[in-house]
Amino acid sequence: MIRNSQCETGISFVGCGSATPKKIINNNQLGQRVDTNDEWIQSRTGIGERRVIGENESLIDLATDAALNAVKMANWDVKTIDLIILATSTPEDLFGSAPKIQSNLKASNAVAFDLTAACSGFLFALVTASQYLASGSMKRAVVIGADQLTKWVDWDDRKTCVLFGDGAGAVAIETTDNQDGLIGYDLKSDGSKGGCLNLFQSNIFLDLVQGAKHQKGEYLPIKMEGKEVYKFAVKEVPIILGELLDKYQIKPESIDWLLLHQANQRILDAVASRFSIPSEKVLSNLKHYGNTSAATIPLMLDEAVRDQRIKPGDLIACSGFGAGLSWGAALFFWHGPY
């Protein structure tokens, strides 16, 4: 079922921000570690380099910087933030990393929590935050997508290690009495296909006391059946986006920007071609960051807003997809400055 915000209160996208690690690892450098090369990686994925969190950096710091940049763009007093949602699958603390970001921001009136939906996480968090705003119970929210998949990658598995990088992005959204910026959205899950892409816990049990064992808290590296995930993405993303466009009677040619989860340039191209969207309207920064999971969409949005490709009033068709399996789409207007 496609949902829309269907509420008296609209939502306005008024700020965005991002932050990435300093360390850049290019494809040739990865070729020193595994049997791969720049030509293969570029032609199969569009990725040229990725950023990796180093010793003096942290995901929470990146997420804080991204959020702060979004709040600055929105020109908010941090005390007016009601809600902070951190979409991540790689928290520094399994109990949740969002409260630490709330404290770093000095956003003392905000409630903060983590949300996990892998690469769809940002979109799921955005829609979740929009419900609080639409209900009228909150006015201002910061939605962050941040991931450090490089700590869970098997750096000796060439099929996955070339794909991922670290980063953080954020948006600032607030209620508005004017036109609702979030036109509509849809979110989906299919756990029956979850085996295609996992970051499973290890199944190690250690002795606790006589006659009892306890499970050791530990995770295995990322495992992915790339072809299956690829097929899923190029099938489901056009369906969910197409249904949304139909529902709101928006023609693909009215879309100003196609903003997809940055997993593979071939997926971006395939989806764009299904809607005959020209390449100039397809946002891509895969070349520089690879797949930063929950961060890809706000990271790309921030780049395109700050370099003034995205202008106030532009219509953005957005879709995220990934582990779960999970996927979603949203149509929204950018209302912020620039």
Residues in contact with ligand UT7 by CB under 6 A are 36, 40-41, 44-45, 119, 158-159, 162, 226-227, 229-230, 233, 263-264, 267, 291, 322
Dump the DSSP string for 5-73.
--SSSEEEEEEEEEE--SEEEEHHHHTTTSS--HHHHHHHH---EEEE--TT--HHHHHHHHHHHHHHH
Please, what is the minimum distance in Å from the beta carbon of residue 288 to ligand UT7? 16
Q: Which is nearer to ligand UT7, 193 or 306 (CB)?
A: 193
Nearer to ligand UT7, 10 or 322 (CB): 322
CA angle 247, 249, 253 (to 5 degrees): 125
Cis check for the bond before 325: say yes or no (omega within 30 of 0). yes
Q: Is 291 a catalytic residue?
A: yes
Q: Which of 16, 27, 69, 119 is the catalytic position?
A: 119
Kindly give the pairing relationship between strand 315-322 and strand 257-260: parallel
Shortest distance in whole angstroms from residue 227 CB to ligand UT7 = 5
Residue in 27, 69, 261, 335 annotated catalytic: 261
- Provide the Cα torsion 29, 261, 81, 68; round to 10°: 30
**Nearest distance from C-beta of residue 4 to ligand UT7, angstroms:** 26
Neighbours of 32 (CB within 10 A): 7
Q: Measured from the CB of residue 96, what is the shortest distance to ligand UT7 in angstroms?
A: 22
Tokens of 151: 């700590």
| CB of 45 or CB of 64, closer to ligand UT7 | 45
Instruction: Write down the catalytic residue from 161, 291, 318, 335.
Output: 291
Catalytic, 285? Answer: no
**Per this entry, what is the length of the chain?**
338
214: tokens are 């306890």
The residue sitting closest to ligand UT7, measured at its beta carbon, is 226
Single-letter code of the amino acid located at 196: C
| In the complex, least distance from residue 322 CB atom to ligand UT7, rounded to whole angstroms | 4
Q: In terms of CB distance, is 269 or 314 closer to ligand UT7? A: 269
3-class DSSP state of 197: strand
Q: Which is nearer to ligand UT7, 244 or 263 (CB)?
A: 263
196 catalytic per annotation = no
Q: Where in the sequence numbering do the catalytic residues fall?
A: 119, 261, 291
